Homo-oligomer: A and B are copies of this chain.
Amino acid sequence: MQHRQVRRHGVLPRTERRGDLTRGHAIGAGLDQKAEGVEPRRLGEGGEGRDGAGLFHESRNIDEMAARQACRLRGGAARAIAQSMNFSFALNATDGAARTGVISTPRGEIRTPAFMPVGTAATVKAMRPESVRATGADILLGNTYHLMLRPSAERIDRLGGLHKFMNWDRPILTDSGGFQVMSLASLRKLTEKGVTFKSHIDGSKHEITPERSMEIQKLLGSDIVMTFDECPALPADRTRIAESMRLSMRWAQRSRDAFGDRPGHALFGIQQGGLERDLREESAEALRVVGFDGYAVGGLAVGEGQEAMFGCLDYAPAQLPEDKPRYLMGVGKPDDIVGAVKRGIDMMDCVLPSRSGRTGQAWTRRGQVNLRNARHADDPRPLDETCTCPACANYSRAYLHHVVRSQEMIAGMLLTWHNLHYYQELMGGMRDAIAAQDFADFETRFHAMRAEGDIDRL
């Protein structure tokens, strides 16, 4: 059912990706060379070449995997495999500021631009992981804050790590816990050292510092670890934003120090600075000095609105190293995503497709559809006749309306599947368009179809 998505992977031939790897960093045609004095780094730096004395099972597993595969190969092939056991990023093509490429990790490749479904509490709500994969997802996001509280990072480590625990063997990115401490926990106390808070689940007291965040994410077995940061809600005054950003930059250095050498695992720094261009540049420079395997644009999608966000994205991604993945945290709606990719973002995550699916909301090429609406009650047509997800392939709008109204679990199951499928199709469409130097047309078609709106009622 998901063959389209899988075939789309073929846009990035394996040989081409390997070629990019051996070239060090590959910049596709059409990407402006930025004049920021950034010395191009060898791809994979930060993950490669370090002493891999991994203390944790996942490092051992990776060594075993590498050894096992290398046994069957010789010479160059064995070296290529050993290299793929590390974290690296190769750009395949660019179109304006938009980029497409592949992040290689020991747990599999991540096609970029990538949308990461959110698996907060070791599950993408209403989905089995096999189904998440069937939508075309290459990577999931897990929430450090939720997992440290329940079932706890130490317990997940004892049980073999988050991948095994939740039955997802592909890459996992974990956030640092900082954002959700601020949005969910009570009695927060912020100091230079870190943050103390009470659990929203049982009121128990906890502390997260940059060092503890690194420890938790290591215990979880995360493939892509995020530095611990503080993220103020917008609007906020410039002084507050600057102070917060500088604290986050000091925490970024502490995160880097605490992360240590973990071959095959990546640490991403998070740019802050609100909507202040010079603070964003100061933050980017601070992160570049430390050096990370990827860079996130943090502190957006926190109430500033799409126009302001795009205004920031017009310059923020370009402030970050172009040879590393750029991740826009917590975004967003489909049109947010298209606008972010257009501006040079490679990775995104958002609860929207899964959360919407549990409230009867579907996202399609034609915009948002509220299946609770009575207009669907007798409608025998699929949600989207061109969609191959199980909700569209097997059910009428009338059925989806019925199960939404009846509060049946299958409503959330089917609509979450559809929404995640739609998001992944959107990402695949953008990857194809960038590879074909056709992104502007893609964007025009995307907006035109949404402007048409949902199909007419019967």
Contact = CB atoms under 8 A, between A and B. Distances in A.
A284 interface: no
A395 interface: yes
Contact of A378 (B159, B396, B398, B406): B159
A40 interface: no
A122 B409 CA distance: 12
Size bracket of the A interface: 35 or more
A408 B167 CA distance: 15
Interface in A157-171: 158-160, 165-167
A279 interface: no
A21 interface: no
Nearest to A122: B402
A377 interface: yes
A83 interface: no
A377 B166 CA distance: 14
A358 B407 CA distance: 14
A151 interface: yes
B123 A398 contact: no
Interface stretch (A90-98, A125-133, A319-327): A125-133
A153 to B, nearest CB: 13
A343 B78 CA distance: 65
B128 A396 contact: no
Nearest to A158: B378
Q: How many chain copies does the complex carry?
A: 2
B150 A406 contact: yes
Contacts of A401: 151
A380 interface: yes
A121 B377 CA distance: 15
Given A128-B390, A394-B167, A413-B128, A406 B121 contact: yes
Given A126-B410, A409-B125, A409-B413, A395 B155 contact: no
B410 A128 contact: yes
A150 B399 contact: no
A405 interface: yes
A403 interface: yes
Contacts of A117: none
Contact of A122 (B127, B390, B394, B399): B399
A412 interface: yes
Contacts of A130: 390
Given A377-B151, A402-B122, A159 B396 contact: yes
B396 A165 contact: yes
A390 B129 CA distance: 11
A421 to B, nearest CB: 14
B128 A408 contact: no
Contact of A123 (B126, B151, B394, B403): B403
Interface in A398-446: 398-399, 401-403, 405-406, 408-410, 412-414
A329 B450 CA distance: 51
Contacts of A150: 402, 405-406
B406 A125 contact: no
4 nearest A-B residue pairs (beta carbon):
A167-B394, A123-B410, A126-B409, A151-B402
